[in-house]
Structure 1
């Protein structure tokens, strides 16, 4: 059974975002599963906990919404299958943390009512749609099938503004079972107000900085045995970073040598620029020396916690 939480017709974007915080939506599924290229589970947790600032929809999301009707119309033109827009926010009755905001529904000759999902993609991502569907969209669609109980979904995509494709996805009970487990575990973290396992994302670093902003002077603790492997991992990564930083600088220096006085260089499909930039910066050192009172009046003191690993004495 499905519960209709709200009508999304003419709903303001910020209000829609507030509703999404009440559960896990289809586009959240790939984040919870750890395969999303743009967002980490910790960042998603911060969103659900209302700890991230409101963000306007980006250009890609904006145009995806604007072109949704066009994709829907073109799908019907090519397949003869009518699509009915769905302007509702749905909730699974069996698993209330699962939400769904469908682009539409349509009829399949064998499976009955199905989900319709409209997508747009840049030409650079055309290869991801060659005889396949990106994993994050497969998870999104299976999430919707879990919420609605439908047996399948059509997904249509406009690529680069001039290539149109569509595919049918059958319900995958094994994948849905995995989604139920992972999304259920994630939502327990939200309800308990405890973050999921931290990772290497900026969101994790931000969370730790805000959670532990200041150190207790001279305080010392014995870390668990698992810290040893993490130290090895950190030091090995530092060695690789130094190696790749040197390689990067060497390549940059040689390219600059090739450019000489020129500002722009062309090599195959790349454009290299070495451009003169003028900036005005406040000379704090001189200001402090010549006008110490004024410097002290406008100087801001900032604090942060410096992290390092070194051999014990």
Structure 2
């Protein structure tokens, strides 16, 4: 398990290269919900996602420890792919990224634009096998998307920054969970900086392996990639390293596709930004938790990314949900 000092060291290592993203809120949304929700805008991060933090930290550490490095490789459905490609390019290291064919087209295209070689394969299992084989070559180093200490520490810097930016303490911190790198780093940072705050995660109901792992105490695995708009949370299982953090969370929520679409529209409208469904789904988890509360609460949400391809955008906006104002009594909220 990583420690808070790992996150502090990661922040010192990467802060000159990443964006210090803002924390914002919507007074209108707070009025409607009767609670205060704050958003850490990692969709304004380099490569359009929080993944830049973990990728940057991991690539820099590899360069420091292995000066003779020849290439880095990674497996990802999108944002981690861009992060590793961008970070490797900054240090002049060749990169090969293995992606499933169902990955977001805009993310695959951006990964190539950062200078990486992209190899696309039909299944998540084929991608994982290919990257493992590539990493056996001399001088080639694998940067996993989440099950890696350097990646987890880098992702944790988003929460470290956010809690430092908050004028008043929050009652809870929430983030999405795919493989668990972000929520693991978020847990460590929050436990150190704001130990009284709850730390909770959200994932799509269609791919609820992490929540079932959390509930059972044993890592659960999916047989195939889940059918969900939350492409940043399509992992088949959490990692052994991230699971040790995940099992310490205060709660876990699964989110259906309809609320995911609803909040993708509403956050775009309220914040005037494109918000990935993987990020937007956290607001349904926030609402699930707020319904249980007897007094006003303050919640910090890490909005992880804003990279949306045309097909996903068409699905999100196929029907207008902006006629239904966010209300804790609504099933969509």
Higher Cα Rg: structure 1 or 2? 1
TM-score, structure 1 normalization: 0.23
TM-score, structure 2 normalization: 0.22
